[in-house]
Structure 1
Amino acid sequence: MRENLSFQKVPHSVDLKNSHYNLIDTNGLDQEEGLATKPALLGVVKSSHREVLADIYQNNISMAVWQRSLGSISQYAESLLESSPHFAFTSQGSLEYLSSMLGKLLPEAQGKALFVEDVALLVDMFACLFDLEEVGLRLNVLSNAMCPRFHVDKIPCRLVSTYAGSGSEWLHEAHVVRDRLGRGGRVNDHNSGLNEKGRINQLNVGDVALMKGDEWPTSLGRGVVHRSPSASLESKRLFLSLDMI
Structure 2
Amino acid sequence: MSAAVCANAPEVLTRIAEPDVHLAIWEAGRPSRLDWLDTLDLAGISDLSFPCALTDLDREIGDGLAEAGYPDGAERDVLGELMADLARRFAAIMGCAEVKVRLEVIRTDACRKFHADYVPARLIATLAGPGTQWIEADRIIEGNPEEIHQMRAGDVGLFKGRLLAPEPAILHRSVPLSAIGGTRLLLVLDPLGVGGGDGMSGVLSSLDGLIPVAVLTGFLGSGKTTTLNALVRSPEMARALVIINEFGEVGLDHDLVTQGHEEMQVEMIGGCLCCTIRGDLLATLRDAPWRFAREGRCWFDRVVIETTGLADPAPILHTLMRDHTLETIYRLDSVIATVDAVNGAATLERQEEAV
Task: Give TM-score, length-normalised by structure 1.
Answer: 0.69
Provide the secondary structure at the position in 2 that maps to 1:126. helix
Give 1:71's aligned amino acid.
P
Distance 1:103 1:199, change over 3 A: same
Paired AA for residue 145 in structure 1: D
Check the 8 A contact 1:160/1:239 in 2, yes or no.
yes
Aligned position for 2:11: 51
Aligned equivalents of 1:120 and 1:197: distance in 2?
35
1:131 equivalent in alignment to 2:95: yes
Q: Report SS of the residue matched to 2:147.
A: coil
Aligned to 2:171: 225
Contact residue 170 and residue 224 of structure 1 kept, 8 A: yes
Q: Which of 61, 83, 88 does residue 21 from structure 2 map onto?
A: 61
Q: How many residue pairs are counted as aligned between the two chains?
A: 186
User: Structure 1 residue 103 and structure 2 residue 72: aligned?
Assistant: no
Which one of 167, 180, 191 corresponds to residue 244 of structure 1? Answer: 191
The correspondence of residues 7-46 of structure 1 with structure 2, limited to 5 A, is 35=1, 42-46=2-6
Match of 1:150 in 2: 114
1:16 counterpart residue number: none
Max Rg structure = 2
* CA deviation string 1:90-137 (max 9, x = no partner): 000113434323312322144111110010000000111111110011
Give the whole-Å Cα distance in 1 for the aligned partners of 2:98 and 2:135.
Answer: 30
The residue number in structure 2 matching 1:71 is: 31
Large movers: runs of 4+ above 6 Å: none
Q: C-alpha separation between the residues in 1 aligned to 2:181 and 2:83?
A: 25
Distance 2:51 2:129 in 1: 25
% identity of equivalent residues: 28
Encode CA deviations 1:30-65: one digit per residue, 9 max, x unaligned: xxxxx4xxxxxx211000010000111111111000
Tell me if the contact between 2:4 and 2:23 (Cα under 8 Å) persists in the aligned partners.
yes
Sort the Cα spacing of 1:220 and 1:104 in 2 relative to 1 into closer, same or farther, 3 A. closer
**Contact 1:170–1:201 (8 Å) recurs in 2:** yes
Give the secondary-structure state (helix, strand or coil) at the position aligned to 2:56.
helix
Q: State the match for 2:134 in structure 1.
A: 170
User: Structure 2-normalised TM-score?
Assistant: 0.49
1:143-163 deviation digits (Å, cap 9, x = unpaired): 112201111212211000000
Distance 2:63 2:145 in 1: 48
Structure 1 residues 76 and 174: CA distance shift in structure 2, 3 A: same
Q: 2:156 aligns with which of 204, 208, 219?
A: 208
Greater percentage in helix: 2
Q: Relative CO higher for 1 or 2, CA cutoff 8 Å, sep ≥ 6?
A: 1
Equivalent pair of 2:61/2:84 in contact (CA under 8 Å)? no
Inter-partner Cα distance in structure 1 for 2:42 and 2:136: 37
Question: Which structure has the highest strand share of the two?
Answer: 2
Q: Distance in 1 between matches of 2:24 and 2:112?
A: 22
In structure 1, what residue type is equivalent to 2:15? D
Moved more, 89-98 or 102-111: 102-111
Contact 2:127 2:187 in 1 (8 A): yes
With over 3 angstroms needed to count, the CA separation of the structure-2 counterparts of 1:59 and 1:83, relative to structure 1, is closer
Helix, strand or coil for the counterpart of 1:111?
helix
Structure 1 unmatched runs, 5+: 1-34, 36-41, 178-193
Partner residue of 2:281? none
**Unpaired stretches in structure 2, ≥5 consecutive residues:** 193-355
Partner residue of 2:46 out of 84, 87, 96: 87
Q: How far apart are 1:140 and its partner, in Å?
A: 0.7
* Contact kept? 1:163, 1:237, Cα under 8 Å: yes
- For 1:92 and 1:197, the matched residues in 2 are separated by 36
